[in-house]
């Protein structure tokens, strides 16, 4: 029964994200054992069961040079919507991959106040690849990317829509 409610809540989160985006949405991950494989500029979602009535919430930790949060939220379970006090739901984060490489997103279930309890920790591995196709950037996107590269102190050259592979094939 609990598994069914989790699936229904996850479906509600997916539906709301699809409606908001108007297109096929990003892939949703809830298992830290599964590597998240995305391309630069591609988005993905991490969705985890949560119950804020306990005082615990998921807190995300990640390298901002590899990914950024572009959205997220909390969707109450059908039991909670039906009035069941103390019922949980699904907490989600939508990320965007910024550059090629491998990184981790660590999710810690904890009480956010000083001295609060810490529950479980889930570590998601994110593998970011280059897009195989060339796509010209629109002027505003190009300027935003250039400013981001400069702000991060990592600009070695201007990327005009290409993600250059630097690894040698073995």
Structural contact between residues 107 and 59, judged by C-beta atoms closer than 8 angstroms: yes
Alpha-carbon dihedral 124, 130, 136, 140, rounded to 10 degrees: 30
Place of tokens 């901002």: 64
Architecture of domain 2-129: Sandwich (2.60)
Place of tokens 């991959």: 97
Residues in the chain: 170
Where exactly are the structural domains of the chain?
Answer: 2-129, 132-170
| pLDDT at residue number 24 | 72
Structural contact between residues 126 and 38, judged by C-beta atoms closer than 8 angstroms: yes
| pLDDT at residue number 160 | 39
Give me 44's structure tokens.
Answer: 């993905």
pLDDT in tens, 75-114: 988 887 888 878 889 999 999 999 999 999 999 999 988 8
CA-angle at 6, arms to 4 and 12, nearest 5° = 105
| pLDDT at residue number 106 | 98
| pLDDT at residue number 152 | 61
Question: Which parts of the chain have pLDDT scores under 50?
Answer: 4, 8-11, 13-14, 17-22, 134-135, 138, 156-162, 165-170
């Amino acid at each position: 029964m609990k598994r069914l409610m989790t699936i229904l809540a996850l479906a509600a989160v997916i539906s709301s994200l699809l409606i908001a985006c108007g297109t096929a949405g990003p892939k949703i991950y809830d298992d830290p054992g599964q590597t998240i494989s995305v391309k630069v500029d591609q988005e993905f979602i991490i969705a985890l069961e949560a119950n804020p009535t306990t005082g615990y919430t998921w807190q995300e930790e990640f390298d901002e040079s590899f990914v950024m949060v572009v959205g997220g939220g909390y969707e109450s379970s059908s039991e909670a919507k039906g009035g069941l006090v103390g019922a949980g739901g699904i907490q989600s984060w939508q990320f965007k991959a910024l550059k090629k490489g491998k990184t981790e997103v660590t999710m810690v279930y904890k009480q956010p106040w000083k001295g609060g309890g810490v529950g479980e920790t889930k570590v998601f591995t994110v593998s970011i690849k280059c897009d195989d196709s060339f796509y010209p950037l629109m002027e505003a996107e190009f300027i935003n990317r250039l400013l981001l590269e400069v702000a991060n102190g990592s600009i070695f050259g201007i990327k005009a829509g290409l993600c250059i592979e630097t690894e040698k094939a073995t």
